[in-house]
Structure 1
Amino acid sequence: MNLEALLAGLHILAILSLVVFLGSQAALCRGEWMNAAVVRRLSRLDMIYGMTAVAVLLTGLARTWWGMKGLGWYWHQPLLHFKFGMFVVIGLISIKPTLTYRRWVKTLDGGGGLPGADDVRATRRLVMLQAHLLILIPIAAVMLARGVMTR
């Protein structure tokens, strides 16, 4: 029981951290607020966001392996596959903003200017898409925890 509580707590901590850093990107990635410091901050936030995503994945896998319900139960549940699939989709969407932030920093370091309004808008749209898709995962998690659609 103590292990289950520890695993759940670590997983929730990782999820909340991920939400904080994705939300920070969404808040800062705006054309009207863009300056050199924001470009660098976005790149750092994205790096931390990536690390928190890895933490979410690892703590989630740990819960399936060492949690009370066990590997056999979790991996036969359609909602777990949905959650994992959404996590992968969000991860794939995040690749473009990550590469964009890196390009912006490289351009800035090379003496170039700030990103254009269209580039910022397109990047923000992808960040917001991630944030909106992320909402589906805890809904599925609660349903899974309550036995809805379980086998």
Structure 2
Amino acid sequence: MCAMVSSWVLAVIHLLGVGLAFAAIYSRARFLGKPVKQLDLPEAFLADSLWGISALVLVLTGLTRAFGGFEKGTLYYGHQPFFHIKMACLVLIFLLEIFPMITLLRWRIGRAKGDVTLNLAVAAKLSQISYVQLFLLVPMVLCAAAMARGIMI
């Protein structure tokens, strides 16, 4: 019974992480997609922080669920094509995140130091990257739903 409840709690936290990720990535994309003069960096920073928190929650709960003995097990996931597709999307999302993460970190540091000459011209590019990441979350959810139902391809 305890293992069942633990598995359920992990699944709930994981699903809530997905919802937070969607909201945070969309918000970051929207805030950074505004014209440079209208950029509200504190809102973009908040959305970016929430995206970082959701990514951490998703990775930790996902690894625990997949390899911690709470779900179908390593053997199942290792041979499940939907799992490989899901992980490929995750890797792409994280690779795409490198540029926004570094840029927003520099902006945060610059703002903290009082630098008013931040290069905000790349904000639109960061917004586009965020929308691509948001798009990549969709096949991840589709793959997760397929795996939960035992669908094999």
Tell whether the structures are fold-level matches, with TM greater than 0.5.
Answer: yes
CA gap of 1:113–1:138, structure 2 versus 1, over 3 A, is closer
Amino acid across the alignment from 2:86 = K
Assess if the C-alpha contact under 8 Å between 1:39 and 1:101 holds in 2.
no
Partner of 1:53: 55
Assess if the C-alpha contact under 8 Å between 1:43 and 1:98 holds in 2.
no
Deviation of the 1:106 alpha carbon: 4.5
| 1:70 paired to 2:93 | no
- Once the two structures are superposed, what CA deviation does each residue of 1:120-144 show, in whole Å capped at 9, x if it has no partner? 2211111111111111101111111
The equivalences for 1:35-114 within 5 A come to 35=38, 38-64=40-66, 65-108=68-111, 109-112=114-117
Deviation of the 1:102 alpha carbon: 2.7
Assess if the C-alpha contact under 8 Å between 2:13 and 2:61 holds in 1.
yes
Determine helix, strand or coil for the equivalent of 2:104.
Answer: helix
CA gap of 1:6–1:30, structure 2 versus 1, over 3 A, is same
CA RMSD of aligned residues (A): 2.1
Partner of 2:132: 129
Assess if the C-alpha contact under 8 Å between 1:4 and 1:63 holds in 2.
yes
Aligned equivalents of 2:60 and 2:37: distance in 1? 34
TM-score normalised to the size of structure 2? 0.83
| Number of equivalences | 147
Assess if the C-alpha contact under 8 Å between 2:89 and 2:136 holds in 1.
yes
The unaligned stretches of length 5 or more in structure 2 are none
Aligned equivalents of 2:23 and 2:86: distance in 1? 19
| 1:144 paired to 2:147 | yes
CA gap of 1:76–1:42, structure 2 versus 1, over 3 A, is same
- Percent of counterpart pairs with the same letter? 27
Deviation of the 1:66 alpha carbon: 2.6
Deviation of the 1:33 alpha carbon: 6.9
The equivalences for 1:5-16 within 5 A come to 5-16=8-19
The unaligned stretches of length 5 or more in structure 1 are none
Assess if the C-alpha contact under 8 Å between 2:32 and 2:123 holds in 1.
yes
Amino acid across the alignment from 1:79 = F
Aligned equivalents of 1:124 and 1:14: distance in 2? 21
